[in-house]
């Protein structure tokens, strides 16, 4: 089980009991707008479903995703993870409760998780998709040594609309 403790927060798997603080911090239209799979409104049943899924994935032999809670004062204030773990690569994703924005938390969490991905999971490439309007997320990636590799036109469908994305990636070495 992965647990990474810093002076400010703990990265650890989601667990039963996280539901209330997860809902409190993730249920935000701005988080919904900036991401692809997070619903809004985000209800207790969404949290239950998500945590059940995480608990199942953790038991798998070679899980295709790794989802970690960002914990501060025994509350889940954010989440960060690697998805689509395939051979040597994986997709990085994250969100943070708005009360905690602008303190460098995701920059630090992304650094820890990318290091873990390269060193412990043996990945060679970690990539992320970002909507062009999401300057804060692009800054997080740039501060972590990710470089912009492309502009993907009409890359995703959200609310029935086709949206562009930037592709960022970091590779080992
Ligand atoms: C994006 C997000 C994860 C950033 O988390 P955070 O902990 O606040 O980020 P950090 O404090 O580590 O870094 C943010 C950086 O963006 C900068 N920034 C914030 N808003 C900005 C803006 N509108 N324009 C330019 N830069 C901006 C900050 O100044 C900071 O850079 P700096 O350290 O050089 O000053 C958080 O805002 C969030 O959860 N957003 C909604 C969900 C989301 O966007 N997820 C990612 C989808 S790709």
pLDDT tens for 124-152 read 999 999 999 999 999 999 999 999 999 99
Mutation test of ligand 1: which of 100, 136, 145 has the most ligand atoms closer than 8 Å to its C-beta? 136
Q: What is the pTM of this model?
A: 0.98
Which residues partner with 157 through β-bridges?
162
Domain 4-171, CATH class in plain words: alpha beta
43-90 pLDDT, tens digit each: 999 999 999 999 999 999 999 999 999 999 999 999 999 999 999 999
Instruction: Please tell me if the CB atom of residue 92 comes closer than 6 angstroms to any atom of ligand 1.
Output: no
Tokens linked to 106: 């995701």
Residue having the nearest C-alpha atom to atom 32 of ligand 1: 139
Tell me what pLDDT residue 132 has.
98
In the β-sheet with 75-86, what is the strand arrangement from edge to edge?
4-5, 10-13, 66-72, 75-86, 89-96, 125-130, 161-171, 147-158
| Residues 113 and 79 sit within 8 Å (Cβ to Cβ) | no
The answer to whether the Cα torsion of 21, 24, 30, 36 is positive or negative is positive
């Amino acid at each position: 089980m992965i647990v990474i403790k810093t002076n400010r927060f703990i990265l650890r798997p989601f667990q039963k009991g996280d539901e209330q603080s997860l809902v409190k911090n993730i249920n935000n239209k701005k988080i919904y707008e900036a991401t692809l799979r997070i619903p809004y409104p985000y209800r207790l049943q969404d949290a239950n479903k998500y945590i059940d899924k995480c608990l199942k994935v953790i038991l798998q032999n070679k899980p295709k995703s790794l989802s970690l809670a960002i914990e501060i004062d025994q509350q889940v204030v954010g989440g960060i993870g690697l998805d689509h773990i395939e051979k040597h690569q994986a997709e990085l994703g994250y969100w943070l409760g708005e009360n905690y924005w602008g303190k460098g938390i995701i920059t630090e969490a992304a650094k820890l998780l990318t290091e873990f991905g390269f060193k412990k999971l043996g990945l060679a490439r970690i990539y992320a998709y970002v909507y062009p309007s999401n300057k804060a997320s692009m800054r997080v990636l740039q501060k972590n040594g990710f470089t912009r590799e492309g502009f993907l036109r009409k890359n995703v469908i959200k609310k029935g609309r086709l949206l562009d994305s930037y592709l960022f990636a970091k590779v080992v070495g």
